[in-house]
Structure 1
Amino acid sequence: MQGRSLPFRVATLVTGLLECLGFAGVLFGWTSLVFVFKEQHYFEELCEPDAGPLGNATGLDDCRARDEQFSLIFTLASFMNNFMTFPTGYIFDRFQTTVARLIAIFLYTSATLTIAFTSADSAVLLFLAMPMLAVGGILFLITNLQIGNLFGKHRSTIITMYNGAFDSSSAVFLIIKVEGGSSPVWHVGRTLLLMPRGHIPYPLPADYRYG
């Protein structure tokens, strides 16, 4: 590992870890965000007065249909998260890092803006936003995993760290509703300043220069 490029590699590693932790796997914190959506009356029109045993209204609403809508959104997004790993992997191999990350930024930014600016009247847009968020997030993870190639015998440790950060990012899902789509600044900055245009090779050639 060449001394002059070491700070650049470490910066790429740390910012990639923060990216995976803060953005890539937030889909799996969906349950936390559902509470916010319910407080903002998303799909509330699907709730019906709950009738008691004698047919009298109990004063409580039967919102099973609303809960089914939220479950359907998560199911669709989870399916896309897994189904699209093959196409996104091909995109990464065929078009390399910069193109793959620009696609991820477009999908992720569109999704976060949609989520941030939806209201109860436009709640149906979540069916579009959540799958886009899932696909953008998995692309961020895929493009970051190659960073492990920069650290030789520590490669497996780095890849494991990134996967762990991806799974842990569900804990920060609530920021999407309040950050107003500002995350593209972070992603574009990493794409242009830290990430390679192509691929980081493995095994890493002895004369490989990074940064």
Structure 2
Amino acid sequence: MSEVPQSRRLAQCICAVIWCLLSAGPIFGFAALKPILIDEHVYEHACDVSSSSMSMQTASILSKPAEFFVTADSTAKCTNQDLKLNMMFTVGAMVTNVSALVIGRSLDIYGPKVCGLLGAFFLSLASVIFIYARTISAAASFIDPYILGYGFLSLGGPFAFISSFQLSNAFPKKSGIILAVITGAFDASSAVFLVYKIFYNKSNGVFTIANFFKVYLVVPLFMMLAQITIMPSESYKATAKHITVTSEDENSPLLESDASSSNARPLGRRDSIGDALRQPYEEEGQEQLVKHAGGIFGVLHGHSARYQIATPWFYLMVLFTIILMLRLNYFVATIGSQYAYMIDLESAQKLNKLFDVALPLGGLISVPFVGLFLDNCSSVVILTTTLAISLTIGVFGLFGNYAAGVINICLFVVFRPLFYTVVGDYCAMVFGFDTFGTVYGLIMTISGALNFSQTILDKLTHTTFDMNPIPINLILLFLTIVIGFSTVAYVKVQARALHESK
């Protein structure tokens, strides 16, 4: 690393922050994009007033005023249009999370430059598809350019974001800060569509989606040029002593003879994600980490990923991640329709606008507080608090009250970055860094794939429950209680047992 000038490393970090800010996760700003899609008549062809396809709209009107599906700032014209629009976000969120394992392995094998270039390619492809969406629809009606474009946008972002992790080791003494800034840029990237929405409204609809993506093409072009000119081909490696607990250091009965010592790890790009995330933990020192983990640090360090994923430590966290991620994404996709039903259309639009601003802002504001929380609390306390906040959000989501909606949104935007950080912190503490890319990627992949069930929940809300979101929210809340308490109880019991055995 000493061969790379400091100015070049600084430029690399700045470039990564810029493209993460513009491309890492704009799909999560769907609540801001959806009104524009409606205004541009996307999927409006799915509405047929003269046919039975409008029967669900009629059923909805029985419990809500007719204005619910009337053209407005954030409301679809019919059930079919609303379901198709929400499907865009469902597919996008699924692709983002399912791709984590593939991207992680690609980074480990091919390095950050290749991953960055792939990210630029998928973002370019997404932009071109959106630019020519109407032409594609007219030429090939069996192709849905909006879902296809949103899918590629969802794939390009993680390639750009995950390949930037290794830059935390460009300045080892500042690695924690760099990771925090990159993560903050990811959270703030949901504001991309909010900014677009502002310009769209000011232009009175002239700045169409096609025109926006013509401008957005600058982002992948910038990424491509940066990767070719100044970005590293190899991942920066942590230089401090590895703190992975090996079989010789650990007396835990879970370790078996097939466990592989981290010190025997072959050289190369392998585990570049783990190397990127290793440095901030190493700076704390092993003694501090063991204290911080509350007894669970190192419990499965040194084991193969195959062994780790066969334990309750893994599959309980998978279930915990699935249910929380499902609730998060369901809320993002349906916030407008939920509050339109529970309160009224005007209040729903106000809450939707608040959410558009609060989502990226909450991510940025919460970064230092999340760091302090993770640094000063045990893993059991962290998981318990995460569960408690999630349940509180679930309860507030049952009240058809504007004040409750504001509180719910404020809690949600702080909880979202906390949740994703907690999952990563748990994986580092329990599974270690040498298998981090595989294990964490697998958790996110499984969770993302099963989050496609959000479409079922969305359809049930529109049909069976006549747009009433409370039954689905109650079901999700109940599952969170069962899975959450099971996970926390297991970790707490194991932590106590491990502490007593030492």
TM-score bin, normalised by smaller chain: 0.7 to 0.9
* Partner residue of 1:151 out of 171, 175, 178: 171
Three-state SS of the structure 2 residue aligned to 1:119 is helix
Q: 1:39 to 1:200 in 2, by over 3 A?
A: same
1:199 to 227, 235, 246: 235
Alpha-carbon distance, 1:140 to partner: 0.4
Establish whether residue 169 from structure 1 lines up as the match of residue 189 from structure 2: yes
**Distance (Å, rounded) in 2 between the aligned partners of 1:36 and 1:119:** 15
Describe how 1:126-137 pairs up with structure 2 within 5 A. 126-137=146-157
Question: Which AA in structure 1 matches 2:27?
Answer: L
1:76 aligns with 2:76: no
The amino acid across from 1:19 in the alignment is W
Is contact 2:130–2:213 with CA below 8 Å preserved after alignment?
no
- The answer to which of 2-11 and 29-38 deviates more is 2-11
Q: Deviations over 1:107-142 (max 9, x none)?
A: 111012212332397282112111211111001011
Contact 2:136–2:145 (Cα < 8 Å) also in 1: no
Q: What residue ranges of structure 2 are gaps of 5+ in the alignment?
A: 50-56, 72-76, 138-142, 198-208, 242-502
Aligned mates of 2:108, 2:4 — CA distance in 1:
28
Q: How does 1:1-211 map to 2 (within 5 A)?
A: 5-49=5-49, 60=70, 62-119=77-134, 122=137, 124-173=144-193, 174=196, 177=210, 178-180=212-214, 181-203=217-239
SS of residue paired to 2:164: helix
Question: What TM-score, normalized to structure 1?
Answer: 0.84
Higher mean C-alpha displacement, 166-175 vs 9-18: 166-175
TM-score (norm 2): 0.37
Q: Could you list the structure 1 runs, at least 4 aligned residues long, displaced by more than 6 angstroms after superposition.
A: none
CA contact (8 A) 2:20 2:185 kept: yes
Return 5+ residue gaps in structure 1 as ranges: 206-211
Deviation track 1:132-169 (CA, whole Å, cap 9, x = no partner) reads: 11111001011111111011121011111101110111
Q: Tell me how many residue pairs correspond in the alignment.
A: 202
The higher relative CO (CA closer than 8 Å, separation ≥ 6) is in 1
CA gap 1:4/1:190 in 2 versus in 1, 3 angstroms: closer
What is the CA RMSD across the aligned residues, in angstroms? 2.8
Q: Which has the larger share of strand?
A: 1
After the TM superposition, which of the residue ranges 105-114 and 169-178 deviates more from structure 2?
169-178
User: Contact (CA 8 Å) 1:42, 1:121: kept in 2 or not?
Assistant: no
* 3-state DSSP of counterpart to 1:93: helix
Bigger Rg, which one = 2
Instruction: Give the deviation of 1:28 after TM superposition.
Output: 0.6
Q: 1:170 to 1:145 in 2, by over 3 A?
A: same
CA distance in 2, matches of 1:140, 1:85: 12
